[in-house]
Structure 1
Amino acid sequence: MPLVVVGISVAILLFLMTKLKLNGFIALLLVAVGVALVQGVEMEKIPDVLGEGVGGQIGDTMLVVGLGAMVGRVMGDCGAAQRIANTLIDTFGLRWVQVAMVVTAMLIGVTMFYEVAFVIIVPVAFTIVRVTRKNLLWVGLPMSIALSTMHSFLPPHPGPTAVASTFHASVGLTLFYGLFIAVPAGALIALVWPRLPFVRRMDPEIPKGLVSERTFTEEEMPGLGWSLFVALVPVVLIAGAAVTDMAASGDSPVLHFVTFIGSAPIALLLTLLLAVWAFGPRIGRSLSEVSASCNSAAQAMAMILLVIGAGGAFKNVLVEGGISDYIKDLTDDWSISPIILAWLIAVVLRVALGSATVAVVTAAGVVQPLLENGGVQPELMVLAVSCGSIAFSHVNDPGFWMFKEYFNLSVIDAIKARTTYTTVLAVLGLGGVLAVEAVLEAF
C-alpha cells in the first residue's frame, strides 16, 4: 500500500537523522532511493528522478534564498538591520515585539512567496534576538507562522491561484474571503505557539554566518530611511507585479517589464545591487568589504540549500512513484460535504507528497466535478483546498528543512514546532471556510 511506504520511509528518515545522527542531505537521498526502488521506479531512471527533484527545488529556491541571504548579510554588516530592529522595538515596545513581527510578516507576505519574505525578514528577527537576548523562536516563530498562513491561504500565491484557475473562481473574491480567515487564524497561532511549554523549552542559537555579531552604535548605523527603502524595494517590486497581473490585461511591453522586474530573483538581484552601493561606497565602505559580506552569506547557505534540494528529490520520488494517483483513486467514491472533502484530500496529499502545490493541484482535479452540481461557491472550494495544503508539514516538505536549518533546530524539535502549527492552521482554516459559507447562506 503506497501510504504505508510513505509512513515507513518517514520513520526510517527520522531514525537515520535522530538516532544515527546522519547528515540530512545524505539521509534524504538514501531514503529517496529506497522509496523509488520499492515503488517500482526503473533503476536506470532513479538518478534522473532525483536530479529533477533536486533541480526543480533548487531552481525555485536557490536564487531567492541565496540573493536574499546576501541582502540580509550586507544590511546586517553595516547596521541597517539593527536600525530596523531598533525601530520596531522602539515603536511596539519590547513587550510587543511578537506583534511587530506578525504585522510585518502579514503585510509583506500577502503578495510574496514564503521563501522570499522569509529571507527578507529573518535578518531583522536575528538582529532583534541578538540585541534583546530573546529566545530565537520567541521572535522568529510568529514571523514564520504569519508568512505560512499568507502563502498557503491566499492568492496571488501559486497554490491558491492555480486552484482558482481550475475552479474558474474569482481571484479577487477568493482573496477577500480568505483575508477574513487568514488574518485572525494566523495571528492567533503566531501569538499562542511560542508560549506553549514544548516550544519554550527549545532554545536554538542563530546559525553562524547569517547575521553580523557586531553591535553598532547610533552613529555607526545608516539612517532609517535608507534602511527601510532597501528592505522594501523587493516588496514593492514583487507586490506591484502581482497587483498589475491581477488588475491589467493585454500584451504591452510595459506589462512585460513590470512582470520581469517583479519576479522574485530579479527583484532581489536589483535590491542586492542597490544594497551594495547604499551600504558600501555611499557610506564609505569599500566594495571588498561588501563582497566579503556576500561571500559569508553564500558559505552559510551551502548546506541549507543542499538539504532543501534533497527534500525536493524525496518529494519527486513520491510523485513519480504514483502516490498522488493512488490517493486520487482512493477518494473517488467518498460521499461527504464538498468543502470537507476538498480539504481532506488536500491534507492527505500534503502528508504523502510534501509539496503544497502538488497537493492543491491534484486535490482540485479530484473535487472539480463536485462544483458542476452547484451549491458551493468556487471561491470557498479554493480556500478549502488551500487550507488543507498547509497541514502536517514534515520531512518530505522542502519548506520544513528551510525552517529547520534557519532556526537551527533538531528534526524532532522542527516537527514539534512546525508540523503542529501547520496542522492547527489547516484545521482553523477549514473552520473559517465553513463559517464563511454559513454567513453567505444566511444572507
Structure 2
Amino acid sequence: MPLVIVAIGVLLLLLLMIRFKLNGFIALILVALAVGVMQGMPVNKVITSIKMGVGGTLGSLALIMGFGAMLGKLLADCGGAQRIATTLIAKFGEKHIQWALVLTGFTVGFALFYEVGFVLLLPLVFSIAASARVPLLYVGVPMAAALSVTHGFLPPHPGPTAIATLFNADMGKTLLYGTLLGIPTVILAGPVYARFLKSIDKPIPEGLYNPKTFTEAEMPGFGVSVWTSLVPVILMALRAVAEMVLPKGHVLLPYAEFFGDPIMATLIAVLIAIFTFGLNRGRSMDEVMGTITDSIKIIAMMLLIIGGGGAFKQVLVDSGVDKYIAGLMHETNVSPIFMAWSIAAVLRIALGSATVAAITAGGIVAPLIATSGASPELMVIAVGSGSVIFSHVNDPGFWLFKEYFNLTIGETLRSWSALETIIAVCGLIGCLLLSTVI
C-alpha cells in the first residue's frame, strides 16, 4: 500500500504541473500534504515533516547556492567566464569541447558536493554553449554526469564515505575501484548520451549568463579567472585530504574543516571575487553589489522549488516508506551486490535523496558482507550507484537540473533522469564484472 500511495502522489504532482500548470513549489507542497495524510500520518505531523524537509534541504543548500550564484554572476559580468570558455575551446577545439567539461567536472567532483559543483560550473557551461554555438545540454550533460558519478561512487562524498565506514571498506580501494568504474560510466552517460539530446536546444535562462561579448582588454586573465573560480574546490580538497591523512585531534584538523566547509569555502571565494572580478577591474563597490543582488533574484524561485522537493522527500521518510521497502527486500535470495544495488535503487526512486537512499540501504545490507564474503569496496559502489538511479520529481536535484537548464518535466526526464539511470546501471554491471576477478 505505501508504494501505491507514493505512485499516486507522483501522478498527482505530474497532473498538477502538466495539466493545470501549477507552480512547482505549490504543487510539491500540496502533494506532500496529500501523501502524508494518505499514509496515515497525523495532520500536525505532516506539517512538521514539510517544515523539516524544506529547512533540511535549504539549510546549507540556500547558502551554497546563494554564494555560488554570486560567484558565477561576478565571473560572468567581468568577462571571466568568457575568458575561460574561449581558452578551453581554443585548447580542446569545438569538436572536443565535451571532453573539457568531463575532465573539469570529474576533477572538481572529487572535492565538491554535487550541488556545489553544479552551481559553480554552470556559468562555464553557459559560456561555452554560447561561444561554441552548441545546444546547452550538449555540454551540460557531460558536466552533470561527471559530477554525479563522483557523488555516487567516490569518497570523500558523504554517501560513499558513510557506507565505506559502515562496511569497514578500505577507503583507498573504494576510491580506486570507483575511479576505474567511474571513467567509462562518465563517458557513456556524458559525451555519448549527450549526442542523443541534440534535439533539445533550449536558450540559456535569462539572467544566468551575460551575453555581452567582452574585448580582450576588458576580460581578466585566464589564470585569475580559473584560480578565483577554483578557490572553493581547493579549500574543500584540502579539507578532504586533511580528514583522510591527519589523525583525529590533530591541531590543524579543525582549521581544515572550517575553511574547507562548503559554505565557508564559497563565501571566501565570493570575497576574493569581489576584488579580482570587481574592484580590480575598475568597477565601483555599488556596481559589484548590484551584481550580487541580481544573482540572488535569479535563484529565489529555484530555491523554493528545491525546498518543495525536500518537503516531499521528508514526508515519505517520516511516514515509514523506507522501512516498508526494506522489509520487502530483506528476505530475497539474490547476489549481495545486486541486492545492495536494488535496495538503494528502490529507496532512491521512492524517497528522492541519493544520500538518504545510500545510507539507508547501507544499514540494511551491511550484515550481508560478513555472511556472503562480498567485497566491501564493491558493495559501497553498488549501493552508491543504485542510489542515483532515475532521479525524478521527488528529488531536489531533478528540479535543480530542470530550472537551471530551462527544461520541461518531459525533457528533464529524458535528459537528467536518463543519464542518472545510465550511471546506475553501468555501476551495477561494473561491480558484477569486477567481483569475478577480485
Determine helix, strand or coil for the equivalent of 1:111.
coil
Note if 1:223 corresponds to 2:206.
no
Aligned to 2:314: 316
Aligned to 2:413: 415
**Cα deviation code 1:189-209 (max 9, x no counterpart):** 20111211xx22212111121
> Contact conserved, 1:131 with 1:215, CA < 8 A, in 2?
no
- Per the TM alignment, residue 373 of structure 1 is displaced from its structure 2 partner at its CA by 1.3
**Separation in 2 of the partners of 1:300 and 1:346?**
34
1:211 counterpart (203, 209, 212): 209
> Contact conserved, 2:388 with 2:421, CA < 8 A, in 1?
yes
> Contact conserved, 1:74 with 1:275, CA < 8 A, in 2?
yes
Gaps of 5+ in 1: none
Aligned to 2:358: 360
Note if 1:381 corresponds to 2:376.
no
Aligned to 2:393: 395
- Per the TM alignment, residue 133 of structure 1 is displaced from its structure 2 partner at its CA by 2.1
**Separation in 2 of the partners of 1:397 and 1:428?**
21
- 2:181 partner letter: I
**Cα deviation code 1:248-293 (max 9, x no counterpart):** 1131332100110001010000000000011122121111111111
Aligned to 2:291: 293
Note if 1:68 corresponds to 2:68.
yes
- 1:180 partner letter: L
Aligned to 2:130: 130
**Separation in 2 of the partners of 1:424 and 1:125?**
22
- Per the TM alignment, residue 321 of structure 1 is displaced from its structure 2 partner at its CA by 0.9
**Cα deviation code 1:331-369 (max 9, x no counterpart):** 121011111100011111011111111111111111111
Aligned to 1:6: 6
**Separation in 1 of the partners of 2:324 and 2:248?**
40
Aligned to 1:240: 238
- 2:259 partner letter: I
> Contact conserved, 2:12 with 2:31, CA < 8 A, in 1?
yes
1:283 counterpart (276, 281, 284): 281
Deviates more, 1:257-266 or 1:359-368: 359-368
Aligned to 2:111: 111
**Cα deviation code 1:380-434 (max 9, x no counterpart):** 1111111100101000000111000000101111011111111121111011111
- 1:233 partner letter: V
**Separation in 2 of the partners of 1:41 and 1:204?**
41
> Contact conserved, 1:166 with 1:364, CA < 8 A, in 2?
yes
> Contact conserved, 1:53 with 1:316, CA < 8 A, in 2?
yes
**Separation in 1 of the partners of 2:192 and 2:132?**
20
Q: How many residues align?
A: 438
**Cα deviation code 1:88-115 (max 9, x no counterpart):** 0010001111111111101111221111
**Separation in 1 of the partners of 2:395 and 2:248?**
36
**Separation in 2 of the partners of 1:339 and 1:175?**
17
**Separation in 2 of the partners of 1:289 and 1:439?**
60
- Per the TM alignment, residue 60 of structure 1 is displaced from its structure 2 partner at its CA by 3.0
> Contact conserved, 1:160 with 1:386, CA < 8 A, in 2?
yes
> Contact conserved, 1:260 with 1:266, CA < 8 A, in 2?
yes
**Cα deviation code 1:23-54 (max 9, x no counterpart):** 10011000000001001111122221100000
**Separation in 2 of the partners of 1:384 and 1:35?**
30
**Separation in 2 of the partners of 1:263 and 1:277?**
22
Matches for 1:181-196 after TM superposition, within 5 Å: 181-196=181-196
**Separation in 2 of the partners of 1:283 and 1:369?**
59
* Shift >3 Å, 4+ stretches: none
Note if 1:17 corresponds to 2:21.
no
**Separation in 2 of the partners of 1:132 and 1:289?**
29
- Per the TM alignment, residue 128 of structure 1 is displaced from its structure 2 partner at its CA by 1.3
Deviates more, 1:181-190 or 1:300-309: 181-190
**Separation in 1 of the partners of 2:227 and 2:325?**
47
Determine helix, strand or coil for the equivalent of 1:253.
coil
1:347 counterpart (345, 348, 371): 345
**Separation in 1 of the partners of 2:248 and 2:343?**
36
**Separation in 2 of the partners of 1:307 and 1:361?**
25
- 1:33 partner letter: L
- Per the TM alignment, residue 132 of structure 1 is displaced from its structure 2 partner at its CA by 2.4
- 2:274 partner letter: V
TM-score, normalised to structure 1, is: 0.97
Aligned to 1:55: 55
> Contact conserved, 1:18 with 1:412, CA < 8 A, in 2?
no
1:327 counterpart (325, 350, 358): 325
**Separation in 2 of the partners of 1:393 and 1:21?**
21
- 2:25 partner letter: F
TM-score, normalised to structure 2, is: 0.98
Q: RMSD of the TM alignment (CA)?
A: 1.0
**Separation in 2 of the partners of 1:386 and 1:41?**
30
**Separation in 2 of the partners of 1:243 and 1:313?**
34
Aligned to 1:170: 170
Aligned to 2:255: 257
User: Percentage identity across aligned positions?
Assistant: 48
**Separation in 2 of the partners of 1:139 and 1:185?**
16
- 1:366 partner letter: I
**Separation in 1 of the partners of 2:116 and 2:10?**
27
Aligned to 2:92: 92
**Separation in 2 of the partners of 1:357 and 1:232?**
25
**Separation in 2 of the partners of 1:241 and 1:118?**
19
**Separation in 2 of the partners of 1:271 and 1:88?**
22
- Per the TM alignment, residue 374 of structure 1 is displaced from its structure 2 partner at its CA by 4.5
- 2:407 partner letter: L
> Contact conserved, 1:101 with 1:139, CA < 8 A, in 2?
yes
> Contact conserved, 2:60 with 2:263, CA < 8 A, in 1?
no
**Separation in 2 of the partners of 1:254 and 1:99?**
37
Note if 1:46 corresponds to 2:51.
no
